[in-house]
């Protein structure tokens, strides 16, 4: 199990510098590798059964390769100096999370709305969601921002930290590879129905525990930040399983309850409408309450820091107390 201070250091690196555009990011390399492997597979395999079999190999190659490369890199660094290995591991874990990036992306949409620039807000939202944003009004822009921030608390924060805590940078990077695969080939369309099925299922399985941990974390944080924690519990119990995804409904329903808003409804993807069930209750209007937009961006970050504080209290402090009791 990775030392909690290494996790804290990685979070600090992410909060301070995020993901600078000038710095090569591992996910970009994963994306290129996935596309290259996909082209080779589709050039040689034509049958649905063959694509399904290849779909099983794809995450094994990409996620397994990511794990192995990071593991070997850390061993090589440790042979040079142990502190070099620790520093590299901290940086690598930091690349798998996006607390700063998630908050900044949401606040950018908020600031454009605050300043009355809906067109700029739509453009900013289009950078972080897959739905069509060209004709969204303010409530729909707010809804899209809240939904994507809530959903990405799992993908971009809790899940990577969960796996980093268990298996360090190698396992966190393997998780990031699985998540990248899902975002690239895990679609239920004609092109990826067979090739991407295993990646999509593996991503669902990898996020199953973190998604439920996230819902509990959001409820606890709502209580600490004087938000609607009772409604958050109620919405999770009532609405979490309404979502088409087995995991996304948990953080989204918790955030909806905590902020007193209603999420879900009809979205458009490449001009094709898709309706999803509604979760949450409209205690607060998405149009009127500007502070909801700011809370929707800052509340997840505070929740993540609270999560790390709880880890410290539950895992590290008992050992410190034992050391003080037995000098």
Can you give the pLDDT at residue 77? 98
Sorting pLDDT into bands at 50, 70 and 90, what band is 1?
low
Closest CA to 120 of 128, 130, 131, 109: 109
Beta strand 272-280 pairing with 262-269: antiparallel
pLDDT over threshold 70, residue 322: no
Can you give the pLDDT at residue 102? 83
Can you give the pLDDT at residue 283? 53
- State the CB neighbour count (10 A cutoff) for residue 37: 18
* 47-89 pLDDT per residue, tens: 999 999 999 999 999 999 999 999 999 999 999 999 999 999 9
| Mean pLDDT, rounded, for 169-190 | 94
pLDDT over threshold 80, residue 129: yes
Can you give the pLDDT at residue 308? 54
The answer to whether 132 touches 269, Cβ cutoff 8 Å, is yes
Can you give the pLDDT at residue 317? 38
Which DSSP state fits 274? E
Sorting pLDDT into bands at 50, 70 and 90, what band is 242?
confident
What is the overall mean pLDDT for the chain? 83
pLDDT over threshold 70, residue 304: no
pLDDT over threshold 70, residue 162: yes
Can you give the pLDDT at residue 273? 61
pLDDT over threshold 90, residue 164: yes
| Tokens, residue 172 | 């966190």
Alpha helices in 97-158 (DSSP H): 99-114, 118-126, 138-153
Distance CA 171, CA 160 (A): 8
Can you give the pLDDT at residue 310? 52
Distance CA 283, CA 257 (A): 9
The answer to whether 104 touches 145, Cβ cutoff 8 Å, is no
For residue 265, report the phi and psi dihedrals to the nearest 5 degrees.
Answer: 125, -145
Sequence-separated (6 or more) residues with CB below 8 Å from residue 239: 249, 253, 256, 277, 279, 280
Region for 274 from its dihedrals, namely left if φ exceeds 0, alpha if ψ lies in -120 to 50, beta otherwise: beta
| Mean pLDDT, rounded, for 164-171 | 96
pLDDT, greater one: 102 or 212: 212
| Tokens, residue 120 | 């700029």
pLDDT, greater one: 290 or 182: 182
Closest CA to 38 of 148, 155, 147, 192: 192
Least confident of 170-179, 180-189, 269-278: 269-278
Can you give the pLDDT at residue 320? 36
């Amino acid at each position: 199990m990775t030392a909690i201070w290494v996790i804290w250091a990685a979070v600090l690196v992410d909060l301070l510098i995020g993901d600078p555009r000038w710095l090569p990011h591992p996910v970009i390399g994963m994306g290129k590798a996935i596309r290259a492997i996909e082209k080779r597979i589709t050039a040689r395999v034509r049958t649905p059964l063959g694509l399904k079999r290849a779909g099983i190999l794809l995450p094994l190659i990409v996620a397994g390769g990511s794990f192995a490369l990071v593991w070997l890199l850390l061993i090589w660094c440790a042979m040079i100096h142990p502190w070099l290995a620790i520093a590299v591991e901290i940086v690598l874990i930091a690349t798998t999370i996006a607390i700063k990036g998630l908050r900044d992306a949401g606040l950018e949409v908020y600031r454009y709305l605050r300043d009355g620039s809906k067109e700029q807000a739509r453009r900013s939202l289009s950078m972080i969601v897959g739905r069509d944003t060209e004709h969204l009004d303010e409530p729909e822009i707010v809804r899209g921002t809240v939904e994507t921030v809530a959903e990405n608390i799992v993908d971009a924060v809790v899940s990577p930290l969960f796996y980093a805590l268990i298996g360090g940078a190698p396992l966190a990077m393997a998780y990031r590879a699985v998540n990248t695969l899902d975002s690239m080939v895990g679609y239920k369309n004609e092109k990826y129905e067979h090739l991407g099925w295993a990646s999509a299922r593996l991503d669902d399985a990898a996020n199953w525990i973190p998604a439920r941990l996230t819902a509990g974390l959001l409820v606890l944080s709502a209580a600490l930040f004087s938000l609607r924690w009772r409604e958050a519990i109620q919405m999770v119990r009532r609405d979490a399983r309404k979502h088409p995804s087995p995991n996304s409904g948990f953080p989204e329903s918790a955030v909806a309850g905590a902020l007193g808003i209603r999420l879900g409804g009809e979205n458009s993807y490449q001009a094709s409408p898709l309706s999803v069930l509604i979760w949450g209750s409209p205690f607060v209007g998405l149009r009127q309450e500007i502070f909801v937009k700011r809370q929707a961006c800052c509340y997840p970050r505070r929740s993540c820091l609270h999560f790390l504080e709880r880890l410290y209290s539950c895992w590290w402090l008992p050992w410190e107390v034992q050391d003080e009791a037995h000098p």
